[in-house]
Amino acid sequence: MKLAMIGFGQAGGKVLDKFLEYDERTGSGIVRAAVAVNTAKADLMGLEHVDEDNRVLIGQSRVKGHGVGADNELGAEIAEEDVGEIQGAIDNIPVHEVDAFLLISALGGGTGSGGAPVLAKHLKRIYTEPVYGLGILPGKDEGGIYTLNAARSFQTFVHEVDNLLVFDNDAWRKAGESVAGGYDEINEEIATRFGILFGAGEIDGSDDVAESVVDSSEIINTLAGGGISTVGYASETVQQQDSGGLLSRFRGEDDMAGEDSASTTNRITSLVRKAALGRLTLPCEIDGSERALLVVAGPANYLNRKGIERGRKWLEEQTGSMEVRGGDYPVGDSDKVASVVLLSGVTNVPRIKELQGKAIEAQDNIEEIREESDENLKELVEDDQDELESLF
């Protein structure tokens, strides 16, 4: 599936950069166009793979290229005012060649947190292509303002996009490590999971011996209906596929076929379970998911219809959904079989409820502290008996 990707803010830009790197490395062909938007000039300059012409600095008259300092209301205002500049870059995208837009942004910061929902609303008004969001939640140790920003942005963003795919930084923090320490690894994880998912819809089915290739319309239909999505992933290294060389002569054809069908099916079903029950991009209860899509990627002789069909049925039972799609994604030169499970329309997400609770607490605290400090300042500046007079 071909995407027009827009990275908004610092994290959005960095993840977009990672997608471009992934695309170049794997040849997946998912990034048809890439635009980075920011109010901070230094962040745009730090990108490595996004074309310089496609880096849009907004809000110059307001913040002079220095960013919005985690003020997402300002981020939203600037995006609103300068949406024409962003549109200028999007005008260069051959939109008729893309299947959808993907807006990538952290929800805890300022520029992307405020700006991405504004841009989503704008794009939906202008284009008929679906507009998806990839929203990144902050780590729990990042503090009140990030939590409050994320909760407000999340609520706004969900309403403006056709589907919000969520990645929770907190779930990916390694023990004893701050979130910041592991960004590169985290971004790699994001690119791999979503890269395989969206890459699946890019195969035309004519090459290799794919039995039931995923089409981009299946991805779109799984995401249609809106709401929140999460993605699971599991992989296993297998022996590199050889093309009838010495190895296959030693093994003998029968042996190869026999070994394959039973263990291929078992491997796939076990990978599907691991993906769905393991760490999701947004941890949640999978029971109650409205729709799901299973993609099994790997060398064609490690994929089979039976494995995918069993995996799909198992997902139906676990989610209780009647809309579970599945298919394969043959990747000739890979030494891995991977399973990616997209769960769409998830509603049982304790992490979001917790985020909202913490955000309300932070909001109340911020108001209280502001009122208190106004009073304290007044007390400090004014003399007790009101004997002094201000100059003017």
- Residues making up the annotated binding site for GTP are 10-14, 110-112, 142, 169, 187
Q: 100 and 130 in contact (C-beta within 8 Å)?
A: yes
Surface-to-core class of residue 52, CB atoms within 10 Å of its CB (0-12 exposed, 13-18 middle, 19+ buried): exposed
Looking at the Cβ atoms of 136 and 331, the one nearer to ligand GDP is 136
The gap from C-alpha 111 to its chain's centroid, in whole angstroms, comes to 17
Q: Bridge-partner residues for 166, per DSSP?
A: 135
Find the part of the chain contacting ligand GDP (CB under 6 A) among 95-103, 108-116, 278-286, 299-307: 108-116
**Options 58, 100, 136, 349; binder of ligand GDP; rule CB under 6 A:** 136
Residue nearer to ligand GDP on the CB measure, 78 or 214:
78
Q: Which two tokens stand for residue 202?
A: 């890019």
Phi first, then psi: what are they for 115, rounded to 5°?
Answer: -80, -35
Binding residue count for ligand GDP, defined by CB under 6 A: 24
Interacting span for ligand GDP (CB under 6 A) from 11-19, 93-101, 225-233, 302-310: 11-19
Nearer to ligand GDP, 186 or 210 (CB): 186
Determine the length of the chain.
Answer: 392
Residue of 59, 133, 135, 138 interacting with ligand GDP (CB under 6 A): 138
Spatial CA neighbour of 109 closest among 82, 149, 143, 76 = 149
For residue 96, the minimal CB distance to ligand GDP (Å) is: 30
CB-count exposure of residue 383 (10 Å: 0-12, 13-18, 19+)? exposed
| CB of residue 70 to ligand GDP, shortest distance in Å | 6
Q: Which stretch binds ligand GDP (CB under 6 A): 118-126, 136-144, 293-301, 349-357?
A: 136-144
Residue 352, C-beta contacts closer than 8 angstroms, at least 6 positions apart = 154, 228
Does 195 engage in binding with ligand GDP (CB under 6 A)?
no
Among positions 169, 264, 265, 339, the unique one binding ligand GDP when judged by CB under 6 A: 169
For ligand GDP, the closer of residues 112 and 195 by Cβ is: 112
**From 113, 222, 229, 235, residue interacting with ligand GDP (rule: CB under 6 A):** 113
Check residue 92 and report its DSSP letter: T
What is the gyration radius of the CA atoms in the chain, in angstroms? Answer: 24
330 belongs to the binding site for ligand GDP (CB under 6 A): no
Query: Is residue 187 a contact point for ligand GDP (CB under 6 A)?
Result: yes
- End-to-end Cα, the chain, rounded Å: 65
| Candidates 181-189, 313-321, 356-364, 367-375; binding stretch for ligand GDP (CB under 6 A) | 181-189
Q: Which stretch binds ligand GDP (CB under 6 A): 8-16, 156-164, 234-242, 378-386?
A: 8-16
109 binds ligand GDP per the rule CB under 6 A: yes
Question: Which residues contact residue 289 at a Cβ distance below 8 angstroms, ignoring those fewer than 6 apart?
Answer: 319, 320, 321, 343, 344, 345, 346
Q: Which of 5, 37, 165, 179 binds ligand GDP (CB under 6 A)?
A: 179
Burial category of 245 from C-beta neighbours within 10 Å (exposed 0-12, middle 13-18, buried 19 and up): exposed
Q: Is 10 in the site for ligand GDP (CB under 6 A)?
A: yes
- Beta strands (DSSP E) in 142-264 are 163-168, 228-237
Distance of closest approach, residue 26 Cβ to ligand GDP, in angstroms: 20
Name the residues that contact ligand GDP, by CB under 6 A.
9-11, 14-15, 67-68, 106, 108-113, 136, 138-139, 142, 146, 169, 179, 183, 186-187
